[in-house]
Structure 1
């Protein structure tokens, strides 16, 4: 193991998941890769058929080429919690492709961002030195732009996921487009509200330093304000210690707002605090819509208190990245983008979309996640 590798492991608890050096479905013969054969998608009401069709189209075009084998690495901010299904998807895709590759990242949650960025940059450099021809990365921040651009200048293909680095020369970003995801959540709640006027409380973010959170919140806010509702945004307070403050603020608005509060919308995994606030205000019948699939959110959904939630497609985020990297190497960036066009925004942003899960579909959605190995 190199010095950089030891530093990464010692500081962040690096875990190298199973290297995908061939599989039952793909093998290397004479330096060439045999046709890719994907495992068939399970038919389910939550299966994103539009994504499946795009992947199938990409595979069909790749199979017309005679690309040699490829080495790639997918770098994640962590291998646990939210990122665990991403790792599952990436490993499965690399196995189907028959590439030499791995998924790397710290086991524990990220800590000091500056240190995390420094160590990730060292790992990028080491990965390039080790011969990687493709990198999928969930970057910690803009400090990785220069080191990634240096890798790209050497011919390494780079795709970002979860967090983007638009200032870099990365080829494509794969993930949730937060503005459209927020708008979708706003539309879900709007369909449950009485006609305007009325006030909607959003448990979201107004922090301009966190673009993703702000974009998601403003996407929802724009939909609701366009429909004639007043919108009050509570800046989420992270951590257990912030729960009481969030609930108290929203409770006060429910009790005092004019026009009266007619619904609540949570934008992140702490959405269940909206239900706590409505209960505290004595308004348990207010419609509430959430984001993510936190266990407490699920409990409120089972009780009929949270009417629906919106979930990012982490598994497909991880699954698509190796296929896109392989496509760029095999058929070129422009041909790859042409195939990705149904979900490609502004030429380089691949919009995964989100799953809308009604309150009475919790068990069905859990079964879907289990079927693809995507439960956190």
Structure 2
């Protein structure tokens, strides 16, 4: 998928372009006021500078489902900025050909060859390190989103801070649990090759263990047979838990499988909290089977990245970081935070997503 946005005739270098005017975000209890204020400060500083047009590319892992709001937001930001830019989704891989991560490396190389001066990237994993560093070596500033490649020469990461997010989800579940002893099943990741999922899982695990609960882990499975394997595996953990299971927590967009496993184990009333806003997760929220979910604000990740790239190129990296300071962690990570959505707030949250065209 390629969604193109562009400006009209480019102005000369250093020439002041038409001031940026953001589309207003309607007021809602879920509106991230601090993030909105940060973007407004960035816009103010950009409008006060001698801006210049540029070409940018936003390369994503996908363009549908979880990623649809990212595409919408990135295209909106590109249009408001008036830059020449593309939002690039995945290139289809074949069974005998290179994998999606290798194909993404080719996309990065091609975007740079096509003239991109700045690059937003949602990398698959550390296999993108060399491609990022090569782009930077050619003078292209890179900002990552959703998944970080901290060992690379990217300028800034924008997204969820995974250990903190896992801890938040753990605390959400804690408020629903009886006092220990008890076992909590975590549907997360122990795969050291995927640091984001591992950190999120560790964050939840630490909170629950420190509160005195036993924790049993189930590695999430995204393969074709993953749903059956996950449900069967978690059912077995629930039935064998000693002390008995008192709650479950899912840390990815397939969190709804926790509710399926609890039903299969004859424990339909077990407290469950989830991640993301998959339609199946929403169905279980409406039924009261999942008590709360945690949304990663992927719309704001997609929206912020073009603005940050534009700021880096026009204001400089240090000046841009100073503007982003309220959301900055460790000098190079922008924390977009989480929306904690209780089951009785589903309609209000859907209304907010609809108001910014961010429905999945």
State TM-score, norm by structure 1: 0.89
Summarize deviations over 1:85-113 as a string: whole Å, max 9, x none: 11111110011111111111237689789
Residue 263 of structure 1 aligns to a residue whose secondary structure is strand
**Which moved further from structure 2: 262-271 or 75-84?**
75-84
Summarize deviations over 1:317-364 as a string: whole Å, max 9, x none: 110001000111111111111111111111111111111111111122
Count of residues paired in the alignment? 359
Task: Tell me the distance in 1 between the aligned counterparts of 2:53 and 2:236.
Answer: 61
Within the candidate set 114, 122, 147, 1:163 is matched to 147
Matched, 1:223 2:203: no
Within the candidate set 188, 195, 213, 1:204 is matched to 188
CA-atom RMSD in angstroms: 2.3
Equivalent in the alignment of 2:289: 305
Residue 106 of structure 2 aligns to a residue whose secondary structure is helix
Matched, 1:20 2:16: no
Kept after mapping to 1: 8 A contact 2:327/2:335: yes
- Report the CA distance shift for 1:123/1:184 in structure 2 as closer, same or farther (over 3 A): same
Residue 18 of structure 1 aligns to a residue whose secondary structure is strand
Matched, 1:234 2:234: no
Equivalent in the alignment of 1:347: 331
Residue 3 of structure 2 aligns to a residue whose secondary structure is coil
Q: CA deviation at 1:28?
A: 5.0
User: Where does the alignment leave 5 or more consecutive residues of structure 1 unmatched?
Assistant: 1-14
Within the candidate set 338, 341, 353, 1:369 is matched to 353
Within the candidate set 142, 147, 150, 2:126 is matched to 142
1:1-376 correspondence runs (5 A)? 15-21=1-7, 31-106=15-90, 114-239=98-223, 241-376=225-360
Kept after mapping to 1: 8 A contact 2:91/2:103: no
Q: CA deviation at 1:239?
A: 3.8
Q: CA deviation at 1:78?
A: 2.2
**Which moved further from structure 2: 80-89 or 304-313?**
80-89
Task: Tell me the distance in 2 between the aligned counterparts of 1:337 and 1:151.
Answer: 21
State TM-score, norm by structure 2: 0.93
Task: Tell me the distance in 1 between the aligned counterparts of 2:104 and 2:223.
Answer: 25
Residue 339 of structure 2 aligns to a residue whose secondary structure is strand
Residue 176 of structure 2 aligns to a residue whose secondary structure is coil
Summarize deviations over 1:249-288 as a string: whole Å, max 9, x none: 3333333322221111111122122112222222222111
Kept after mapping to 2: 8 A contact 1:80/1:107: no
